[in-house]
Amino acid sequence: MAFVFRAAVQLIGLLLSLLGWVLSVITTYLPQWKNLNLDLNEMENWTMGLWQACVIREEVGRQCKDFDSFLALPAELRIARILMFLSNGLGLLGLLVSSFGLDCLRIGETRQGHKKGLLILGGILFWAAGVAALAPVSWVAYETVQEFWDETVPEIVPRWEFGDALFLGWFAGFSLLLGGGLLDCAACFSQAAPASGHYAVAETLTQSPYLENGMADPRV
């Protein structure tokens, strides 16, 4: 029963981490980190992402233009691009590492200690990926709020607002943190199990003649 519960917690943690990693990848390339709604022209909306800026018009639809240079981005978006790449890489590495440590896989049954170590390492990688995803999203949100309430800017000037990518990035980061935490908890509370049922049966059969004769096993 404990094995089934532990395997279920591991699987849930891996699925949450996988969801968070997929969402973080989508967040990286979603061109909606910031939205600019023009009060004077409600038929035109601007969005900005890490790779391109887009304008949405009712007549022609969405038109996007890639940034000509990495330096053309604002400072917070430059750092956000680097951290989101780091989050995506750490998340992918965590998926590869933790997958081989699941109890439901029969790979490496004779090395439970190594599988436990892989799970712990995978959880740590997911934690790092979650922090790397939350940091840029929160920073961009903070800068957006600061600019929105900047009293030195005239009220008639349009102001950037939160884009959908920020909310998606927060959800991705918390999913990675929760998934990594579940994997580490499942690994830390796991007990050392017998190497394999086949080895246990073989060991019992080998010792049975000594047990029947009341003699001790000379190998012990």
**pLDDT surpassing 90 at residue 22:** yes
pLDDT at 152: 78
Closest CA to 81 of 96, 66, 94: 66
Q: Which residues contact 171 (CB under 8 A, 6 or more apart)?
A: 20, 23
pLDDT at 57: 79
- Residue 53 has which token pair? 């800026």
- The tens digit of pLDDT for each residue in 32-74 reads 899 887 665 566 788 888 998 888 877 777 888 888 888 878 8
How would residue 160 be classed by pLDDT, with cut points 50, 70 and 90? confident
- Residue 193 has which token pair? 């199990």
How would residue 114 be classed by pLDDT, with cut points 50, 70 and 90? confident
Residue pair 127/91 in contact (Cβ under 8 Å)? The answer is no
Q: Nearest 5°: phi and psi at 166?
A: -65, -45
Type of residue found at 47: T
Question: Going by CATH, does the domain composed of 1-32+73-191 fall within 1.20.140.150?
Answer: yes
**pLDDT surpassing 70 at residue 81:** yes
Q: Tokens 């830390």: give the residue.
A: 188
**pLDDT surpassing 70 at residue 201:** no
pTM of the model: 0.79
Instruction: Name the more confident of 111 and 80.
Output: 80
Buried b (16+ CB within 10 A) or exposed e, 135-166: bbbebbbebbeeeeeeeeeeeeeeebebbebb
**In whole angstroms, what is the distance from residue 135 CA to residue 173 CA?**
9
